[in-house]
Structure 1
Amino acid sequence: MTEGSVEKGVERRACPHCGELKHTPRSPGLKASVARRINRAVGQLNGIRAMVEEDRYCGDVLTQLAAVESAVKAISREVMRDHLETCVVERIQAGDTEVTDEVMDLFKKFM
């Protein structure tokens, strides 16, 4: 697999230093929390699909869409916190201060 390749719809990025694919072990607690939140968001999206198919009031559909967007942002914040507390700290401790550029790019995506 090459840098920027896609596997099952998910982009996998190679490390700019060694060329190997990045891998991040995550705690069972984080995995469970993220999975639970994603499942809830998927359920909400399925409910919204049904609302649209049933011609429900636009305001109600938009309210539910806002709730899903908020839920996805909460997932992003949880993963970002874990990234900062693990990957970023480890890379800075190893002397790789270029990680700050990556963090700034990530922040730009969420602002």
Structure 2
Amino acid sequence: MDNNGSEEKCMKECCCCERKKERTADEYKKLINRLNRIEGQIRGIKGMIEKDAYCTDILVQSAAVSAAMNAFNRELLANHIRTCVAEDIRKGNDEVIDDLVATLQKLMK
């Protein structure tokens, strides 16, 4: 498949390709700060591996990263429900409920 075909497929299947969400400066700052902390934790784990750290020490840090990502997802999901989903429902777009269910199923894998 050529690039145009894959781009077309992405536009049809990927919600992030066609929809956008304007965030307040505060929302943006909070999300970016969380991601920066997580990025730092990942770099720390990489450093631990490079320094031959003990397996369980690395696993503990890895679990902390997983917990941080879960917290990020919870915050983003809650904001999504309060804003995007609620607004679409008020506009009569009940299709957003199916989208939310699909998103929740992906998050719970």
Greater relative CO (CA pairs within 8 A, separation 6+): 2
Write the letter of the residue equivalent to 1:78. E
Give the whole-Å Cα distance in 1 for the aligned partners of 2:83 and 2:101. 16
Which of 16, 29, 43 is the matching residue for 1:12?
A: 16
Alignment RMSD (CA, Å)? 1.8
Write the letter of the residue equivalent to 2:66. E
Q: What TM-score results when the alignment is normalised by the length of structure 1?
A: 0.83
Q: Which runs of 4+ in 1 moved over 4 A?
A: none
What are the superposed Cα offsets for residues 35-57 of structure 1, whole Å, 9 maximum, x if unpaired?
11100000000000000011000
Structure 1 residue 12: deviation in Å?
3.2
Give the whole-Å Cα distance in 1 for the aligned partners of 2:61 and 2:73. 19
Count the aligned residue pairs: 100
Which structure shows the higher helix fraction?
2
Give the whole-Å Cα distance in 1 for the aligned partners of 2:77 and 2:99. 12
Which of 27, 47, 52 is the matching residue for 1:50?
A: 47
Which structure shows the higher strand fraction?
1
Unaligned runs of 5+ in 2: 1-6
Unaligned runs of 5+ in 1: 6-10, 14-20
Give percent identity, aligned residues only: 35
Structure 1 residue 4: deviation in Å?
1.8
Q: 2:77 matched to which residue of 1?
A: 80
Q: 1:92 matched to which residue of 2?
A: 89
